[in-house]
Amino acid sequence: MTARVVIVGNGMAGARLAAELHAREGDRKVTVLGAEPHRAYNRIMLSTLLAGRIGELDVELTEAAGHGVDMRPGVPVTAVDRSAHEVHTGDGERISYDHLVLATGARAVVPPLPGLDPTDLPRRVVPFRTLDDCRRILAVADGARSALVLGGGLLGLEAARGLATRGLATTVVHHTGHLMERQLDPAASAVLAGTLAGLGVTIQLAVPATGVVADDTGVRLDLADGRSLHADLLVLSCGVRPDTALAQAAGLTVRRGVVVDDRLRTNDRSISAIGDCAEHDGALTGLVAPAWAQARVLADVLTGTDPLARYRPRPVVTRLKAAGIDLAAMGDAAGGGPGEELTFADPARGTYARLRIHDERLIGAILLGDNPAVGTVIQLFDRGHPVPADRRALLLGRALGGAGAAPSASPALMPDAAVVCQCNTVTKGALVRCWRSGARTVDAVVAGTRAGTGCGGCRDAVGGIVDWLSEAESVEVTR
């Protein structure tokens, strides 16, 4: 009998799960129901789309296609009937399942401010979460001269940089005393604010918003200190909240997200949850790498490829890589505690580095600006390897050598197990094998391994490895 798998959500998690299921052997029918009327797209690349550096076709994801896969965008699911093993769609259809997967993602938070109704936002006030949001922002930005961004987290800063790239005078308003407070310490935030100022983005910190007034002529944002800021556009980037409404209505266990175990199962063994809507071991994901890792594990479990597969979260690395900005933050870099702590700051050059080391292992790091050691630092953190004796080389990005040296940035000396693409967990060895199997360009290696298809931050590293392989082959041929 053909197994019927229904996936609710055609975002980055749901689309990846469909592709993983399609790639595995077995007789099954996979139905993907997406509320958004588009093909699956890479949400991480929306800020690049906003900046005008790519087009909409460039954010589309390669979808599973062929026998046994039914992709249905624009079909919202309104209810789950657990006793009948059915989902109900917005057009009245009932679809049966043997196993249901919730990949409903998260929704942008609209702050409870006077003048903002989440169900009826003014045209000039737009959250930044979906492709439709991006289209609305671009529609208002066309002809606009100024923009406000409410929220100084990762996504808010990416949006601000994108709008500034389009020539808009852009101001970020953040309620706390420093930017990206979950990832950065105050010193790193200050350097980042200086870098953004040089790129045309003004920062207003420690000023909560108290109200919004918007009409056809513009937007006014009122602040707690009595000031008011005026602009043509207000972008809301105030965080996201897991979309758990469907799960709650179905009687599944929900805390902050839909609670799942190591096999990504809910309290109903016929229903799983992955991605931004899922809560595993008390934690939400919010990033693409863990969502895709969950998709791989669940595909192994559902198809019987590896019935013992279990989801184990990997250390998280946050990257902000926009034009003129290169930031990597990982672990508990902003906190205190036992161990060594090394910092270096050069605000004039937009450079900041902080390393936290305990028991000879890196437990947290912030690297802002051009630091050649960023790849090595990420590898040390990700794999839990001992740090080199010369800590300053990591901090300052100098060449490493001698006893106890960290893995070199040279592809020739990188171990095959080194993870180059964090989003897809693609190692150097996998890239080399793909190249040796006939993929001789960066695009071909990316297509063959998926490296660089998440946040895109590793694209230069992938290119470096391909160049190294090509040069090595040339040397061998001419000998």
Cβ atoms of 417 and 427 within 8 Å: the answer is: yes
Q: pLDDT value at position 59?
A: 92
> What CA–CA distance (Å, rounded) separates 92 from 78?
9
pLDDT, position 471: 77
Element spanning 53, H or E: none
| Residue where the block lists tokens 């890239």 | 431
**The pTM of the whole model exceeds 0.85:** yes
- Which residues are CB-neighbours of 362 under 8 A, at least 6 positions away? 331, 355, 356, 377, 380, 381, 387
Which structural domains are found in the chain, ordered by start?
A: 3-105+243-303 (3.50.50.60), 109-240 (3.50.50.60), 326-396 (3.30.390.30), 411-477 (1.10.10.1100)
CB proximity list for 436: less than 8 A, separation 6 or greater: none
Please report the pLDDT score of residue 66 as a whole number: 63
d(CA 233, CA 422): 34
The yes-or-no verdict on residue 332 having pLDDT over 70 is yes
Which amino acid appears at position 433 of this protein?
R
Q: What sign for the dihedral angle of Cα 51, 58, 142, 157? A: negative
Q: Which residue has the tokens 């052997």?
A: 25
Least reliable range by pLDDT among 112-126, 232-246, 306-320, 405-419:
405-419
User: For 346-391, what is each residue's pLDDT tens digit?
Assistant: 999 999 999 999 999 999 999 999 888 888 898 889 888 899 888 8
Between 85-99, 129-143, 250-264, 445-459, the lowest mean confidence (pLDDT) is in 445-459
| Residue-level pLDDT at 72 | 95
- Mean pLDDT, residues 262-278: 98
Q: Name the packing angle between helices 154-165 and 131-141 (round to 10°).
A: 40
- Band (pLDDT 50/70/90 cuts) for residue 443 is confident
Q: For residue 241, what are the contacts with CB-CB under 8 A and spacing of at least 6?
A: 106, 107, 109
User: Residues 271-303, buried b or exposed e (16+ Cβ, 10 A)?
Assistant: bbbbbbbbbbeeebbbbbbbbbbbbbbbbbbbb
Q: What single letter denotes the amino acid at residue 274? A: I
Q: What is the mean pLDDT of the chain?
A: 90
- Whether 1 shows a pLDDT value over 80: the answer reads no
- Collapse the DSSP code of 344 into the 3-class scheme (helix H, G, I; strand E, B; otherwise coil) and give the result: strand
What's the whole-number mean pLDDT along residues 252-261?
A: 98
**Which has more confidence, 479 or 412?**
412
